[in-house]
Amino acid sequence: MERLAREAARSSAPTSSTLRTPRISDPRCESDRAVATDHIVEGRLLRSRSGALVAALSASTLATGVTQISVPLELRQLHASPTETGIALSMFGLGMFLFEWVWGALADRVGYRLPLVLSQVLYAGGIVLLASSRSVPLIAVAYLLASGMMVAAGPLGRSFLGTTLPPRLRATGLAFIASQWIVAGAIGSGVGGQLIEHFPIRNVLYGASVLPLIAALLLLLVFMGYKETRGIWSRGEEPAPARAQPGESFMRVMVLTAAIVLLFEIGSGGELALLPLLATNQLNMSAATAGTVMFIVGLLAGLLLVPGGMASDRWGKRRTMAIGGVLSAAGFVAYAVAGSFCAVIFGAALRA
């Protein structure tokens, strides 16, 4: 009896294997190895399929930056009136509004691979149509279609990262794709401005149309061997439902959030559309200088994303958003009274 008791105690004693942190094997998370350790999170993200996806989309975002500097300058060459210019440039935001939910709904039904690759091919066609347009109405229609195809990378990319990365990498991944969108677009605007100084705008746009095709080829490589799955939470990982505060209305929160985002997007869209015209028409700068301004604006916005998130964690979302709104308004005032390159950059720093 004593020998049996000793063997039972020895078999039930904890060992190195039983004390080791259990590893989660979830086929819906592309990097379940990430749960084994907390070290070098960013390095694992950059080496993952999600990091490759963001890198592939950066080629398409470069084309977006070239387009955003080229279209206002093309309208200026056509001697479009301020009203015509405003309507044509507003098609960029309208295309995003009309098509973004369509791409998201399509991804829910057929997965990510086909919509992402197809949208890049169609985006290249939209840029070609934009380059071949010879009148303001045609430019407006082409800009609408191009932006509608371009915007697919937003909801599809964010959804892919949100559903394939493990929980401790999701916030980092979403910040990564947001920063890529801003910085790559800024680089595209800067390079586009330099090219417009030496080549016709239409030729620059024709060249930019190749970039989405490169992105499509890279996306095919990224998704090679990838198996579509559904569901983002493993068992025991589902978050507990948040308890609603007394008197808090879901619809009220949604309406207020949508209104705040809409106002910020209107300001951002106006900045992207009118900043090249401010530099060329009001300050008599060259296209290259206007592209440099767009590059600096985007670079500042991309670099300040992380400090903004840190401020939100420390001071709270409400206070950070209020301070950000005041600084953003001050940036627009600086744009309005700007009389030099340095004044425009100062306004851009406040806006960022």
Residue 36: pLDDT over 50: no
Residue 218 lies in a domain: yes
* Token output for 94: 């309208």
Q: Are 71 and 139 in contact (CB under 8 A)?
A: yes
Sign of CA dihedral 89, 92, 97, 99: positive
For the chain, the distance separating the N- and C-terminal CA atoms, rounded to the nearest angstrom, is 76
In this structure, is residue 342 part of a structural domain? no
CA atoms within 13 Å, Cβ hemisphere of 225: 4
**pLDDT attached to residue 66:** 93
This prediction has a pTM of 0.68
Running DSSP on this structure, what letter comes out for residue 242?
P
As for how many domains the chain has, the answer is 1
Q: If we measure between CA atoms, which residue out of 341, 328, 330 comes closest to residue 293?
A: 341
CA distance 211 to 184: 12
Q: How far apart are CA 346 and CA 252, in angstroms?
A: 36
Determine the 3-state secondary structure of 171 from DSSP. helix
Q: Do 163 and 104 touch, CB atoms closer than 8 A?
A: no
Question: Is residue 106 included in any domain, yes or no?
Answer: yes
* 206 within a domain of the structure (yes/no): yes
CB-CB contact of 220 with 94 (8 Å): no
Res 124: pLDDT: 95
Dihedral sign of CA atoms 204, 186, 269, 258 in order: positive
Residue 333 has pLDDT above 70, yes or no: yes
The answer to whether residue 51 sits within a structural domain is yes
**Residue 232 lies inside a defined structural domain of this protein:** no
86-108 confidence digits (pLDDT tens)? 888 888 888 888 888 888 888 88
Integer Cα distance of 90 and 96 in angstroms: 10
302-322 per-position pLDDT tens digit = 676 656 656 665 677 677 777
Q: Give CA separation, 74 vs 77, 91, 193, 203, 312, in Å.
A: 5, 15, 12, 12, 40
Question: Is residue 64 a part of any domain in this protein?
Answer: yes
Residue 278, CB-side half-sphere exposure with 13 Å CA sphere: 23
- 289/284 Cα distance (integer angstroms): 10
Q: pLDDT by residue (tens digit) across 65-74?
A: 899 889 988 9
Quick check: is 211 in a domain?
yes
Domain with residue 159: its CATH number is 1.20.1250.20
CA torsion, ordered 218, 224, 230, 234, to nearest 10 deg: -100
By residue range, what is the domain housing residue 208? 43-224
* Mean pLDDT, the chain, whole residue set: 74
Query: Could you give the percent of the chain with pLDDT greater than 70?
Result: 68
Report the C-alpha gap between 268 and 261 in whole angstroms: 10
Q: How confident is the model at residue 125 (pLDDT cuts 50, 70, 90)?
A: very high
- pLDDT tens by residue, 243-258: 555 445 667 766 776 6
